A and B are shown apart, each in its own frame.
Chain A
Amino acid sequence: MTAESRRKPEQVRLERLLRLIAALIDTPRFLSIEEIHTKVGVARGADSAGYPENGPAAKRAFHRDMNELADAEIPVISGRVPGQERETLGYRIRKQDYSLPEMDFEADELAALHRATTAVRFDGVSGSEVLWKLGGRVGEATASELAAVPAHPALADVFQSITEQRVAEFAYGGQHRAVEPWTLAFDQGHWYVLGYDRSREDRRTFRVDRIQGGVELGPPSGFQQPEGTAGWVSFQPWKFGAAPPVTATLKIDPEQAVWAARRLGQEPAERERDGSAVFEVVVRSPDAFRSVVLEFLEHAEILGPPELRADMVAWLEEMSR
């Protein structure tokens, strides 16, 4: 090997890690730890990369390297080494797991994606590492961050289950759910997953931050999404629920009318003389409807139907005591 002037310890370590990854990729089968040691080589002196000659020390160094690879999220898989009498655990990296698909971005596209990652920060995702994978940082970052999107431990798993059609199982509201997830949506500051709940035999929406514990992913292509179920309707929770739909008549004071049209996502059905706006709102969740009406405090009034009006009055009377 070419002798170079003395290197820093992190450079020697880098060489060993690169040799290890090269060896793990360049194999058609699982390699035992001993085989990996041979392929990576033995260190002879502080400036020489490779594993210590001493067996237990080499093993420790190997496991330290594997942790480093796991930190870099390099997909090392383990399995049985073929042709061994005793069952021996081996390791390898499959090229198809490792490689980013071809995408060939133009420089202006990379620059636009760069601006996007600096303008909208996803908690827990390093924007620069993502950009390196696409061909590096191009262009200038935005002057300041526009928005931060919260993360949740279950989020990446849920996303993967959607893109690979894996059934997702998790605990929610104290109960076990098996869900065929269709859409992940960030709306009104929260993450939601919409899909078919196998246990309820119906379509359901879940808040990702209320998933309790981890998500267990089934095998890929574990379900088929029915036609026409794709997409997300902006979050208006009173539209979703188990109750049969009723049309509520809601009167809003003149000053709040424009804001109400935006909040409800619809134009008023009529305008009264004083400028008050009357909305006809389809409600499937009375609780969620009461909640949105209360956002307007004394500037809104449910005119009908009687049961929704009575529900509001009962709620307020309870609180007036």
Chain B
Amino acid sequence: MSRLTAGDRLRRMLELVPWIMSQGGAELSEVSHRFDYPEAELREDLVKVLFVVGLHPFTPDELIDVMGLDEEEGGGWVAISNADYFSRPLRLTPGQALGLIGAAEALLSGADPDGPLSRGLAKLAAGLGVSVGEDLAVSLGESAGEWVEPLLGAAADHREVRIRYFSYGRGRESERVIHPHRVFSESGNWYVLGHCRQAGGVRVFRIDRIRSLHVLETLFDPPDEPGLPSAFQARPGDPRVVLRLAPGASWAIEKYPTDDEVVLDGGAIDATMAVSRISWLERLLLQLGPQAELRHAEPPIAVDQARKAARRVLARYDDEQRPS
């Protein structure tokens, strides 16, 4: 850890003092671990700083009492008293309360209702006056539930997994054996990133499109670097397109990485992005309609890809509605 600034020390000190007081004293090593405070620095700051903090006029009875921590080097036990003004930790800011409750709530579905996470969250919500699920609802993707746990386990144990997977781009199911490297959630969906034997490379799979899953006995060698946790990670050979988005339609690309974004006069945006599956681009173009336009496309994507896709979909409506 780099050298602690006065502010770093302050933030820790304001929280560890009330904790030590509430415990009636604690081992220095435990305080150091709980509050990320290197033990030697902590010892010095308790003895040389906290010990001389107090109220005006700083007579001995107005100073904080730091007991224990004899001259011996290393280890030791410490107790603190005469610091009523530091008897409670600082309240959580709204942002911190949101982050903590939100993180716990996001993981709660599927967790044991009497387990420590549920109990901890209940205390937190009661203490802060927040109704979980009513004031705040956090969902990281709901339909993925049943496969997330076994995939996390397989990733941790380096076990191969056989899945039946529905490929949305290709519109069909296939059986695959994958090495799950990493499980993550992004933009409301859960994904597993891993090597796929059938594809012969690393791929990202959406967990809610896994129809069945079996963890195998065979082990795999984990990669040194499990790769970026992005579902939309571009591969070097992916074709690029330049997509012009009308002002106000930029939200359409905000969850996808772009190589470049140029804001034009009038607020339109030219976004250069990699396209790993044409179906993904077609879907986006059809949804955006007149709000988006392809300005440039590398093969096999055509500049009029939206028109091609629209005609294909329109063919389904052919018999009845289309003027003959």
Could you list which residues of chain A lie within 8 angstroms of chain B, going by C-beta atoms?
Answer: 1-2, 4-5, 7, 9-11, 13-15, 17-19, 21-23, 25-26, 38-41, 49, 68, 71-75, 95, 97-106, 108-113, 115-117, 119-122, 124-125, 127-130, 132-138, 143-149, 151, 155-157, 159-160, 162-163, 182-190, 207, 209-210, 230-232, 234-235, 253, 255-256, 258-259, 262, 291, 294-295, 297-301, 309-310, 312-313, 315-321
Whole-angstrom CA separation of A255 from B173 in the bound complex? 7
Smallest CB separation, A33 vs chain B (Å): 15
Q: Is the CB of B116 within 8 A of A111?
A: yes
Q: Is the CB of A262 within 8 A of B208?
A: yes
- Other-chain residue from B50, B58, B279 in contact with A41 (beta carbon distance below 8 A): B58
Whole-angstrom CA separation of A163 from B128 in the bound complex? 9
In the complex, which residues of chain B have a beta carbon less than 8 angstroms from the beta carbon of A144? 182, 184, 226
Whole-angstrom CA separation of A77 from B92 in the bound complex? 17
Q: Is the CB of A163 within 8 A of B58?
A: no
Across the two chains, which residue of chain A brings its CB closest to B143? Answer: A262
Q: Mark B158-198, 1 if CB is under 8 A from A, else 0.
A: 00000000101001110000000011111111000000000
The SS class assigned to the A binding surface is helix
Whole-angstrom CA separation of A160 from B188 in the bound complex? 24
Q: A105-B120, A122-B99 are in contact. Are A294 and B51 (CB under 8 A)?
A: no
Q: Is the CB of A112 within 8 A of B116?
A: yes
Could you list which residues of chain B lie within 8 angstroms of chain A, going by C-beta atoms?
Answer: 3-7, 9-16, 19, 22, 31, 33-36, 44-45, 47-56, 58, 83-86, 88-100, 102-104, 106-107, 115-117, 119-121, 123-124, 126-131, 133-143, 156, 166, 168, 171-173, 182-189, 208-209, 211, 226, 229, 251, 254-255, 279, 282-283, 285-287, 289-290, 306-307, 309-317, 321-322
In the complex, which residues of chain B have a beta carbon less than 8 angstroms from the beta carbon of A297? 279, 282-283, 286, 309, 312-313
Q: Is the CB of A149 within 8 A of B102?
A: yes
Whole-angstrom CA separation of A291 from B86 in the bound complex? 56
5 contacts between A and B (CB under 8 A): A1-B52, A72-B7, A100-B92, A122-B98, A189-B186
Q: Is the CB of B14 within 8 A of A295?
A: no
Q: Is the CB of B92 within 8 A of A130?
A: yes
Q: Is the CB of A320 within 8 A of B314?
A: yes
Smallest CB separation, A180 vs chain B (Å): 13
In the complex, which residues of chain A have a beta carbon less than 8 angstroms from the beta carbon of B143? 262
Whole-angstrom CA separation of A111 from B119 in the bound complex? 12
In the complex, which residues of chain B have a beta carbon less than 8 angstroms from the beta carbon of A310? 321
Whole-angstrom CA separation of A124 from B103 in the bound complex? 13
Whole-angstrom CA separation of A281 from B319 in the bound complex? 23
- Other-chain residue from B55, B93, B102, B306 in contact with A73 (beta carbon distance below 8 A): B93
Q: Is the CB of A137 within 8 A of B123?
A: no
In the complex, which residues of chain A have a beta carbon less than 8 angstroms from the beta carbon of B209? 259
Q: Is the CB of A317 within 8 A of B314?
A: yes
Q: Is the CB of A185 within 8 A of B138?
A: yes
Smallest CB separation, B91 vs chain A (Å): 5
In the complex, which residues of chain A have a beta carbon less than 8 angstroms from the beta carbon of B317? 301, 309, 312-313, 316
In the complex, which residues of chain B have a beta carbon less than 8 angstroms from the beta carbon of A291? 287
Q: Is the CB of A232 within 8 A of B116?
A: no
Q: Is the CB of A98 within 8 A of B88?
A: yes
Across the two chains, which residue of chain B brings its CB closest to A73? Answer: B93
Whole-angstrom CA separation of A211 from B318 in the bound complex? 42
In the complex, which residues of chain B have a beta carbon less than 8 angstroms from the beta carbon of A321? 307
Q: A7-B48, A74-B90 are in contact. Are A130 and B171 (CB under 8 A)?
A: no
Across the two chains, which residue of chain B brings its CB closest to A142? Answer: B152
User: Which has the most chain B C-beta neighbours within 10 Å: A25, A163, A184?
Assistant: A163
In the complex, which residues of chain A have a beta carbon less than 8 angstroms from the beta carbon of B312? 297-298
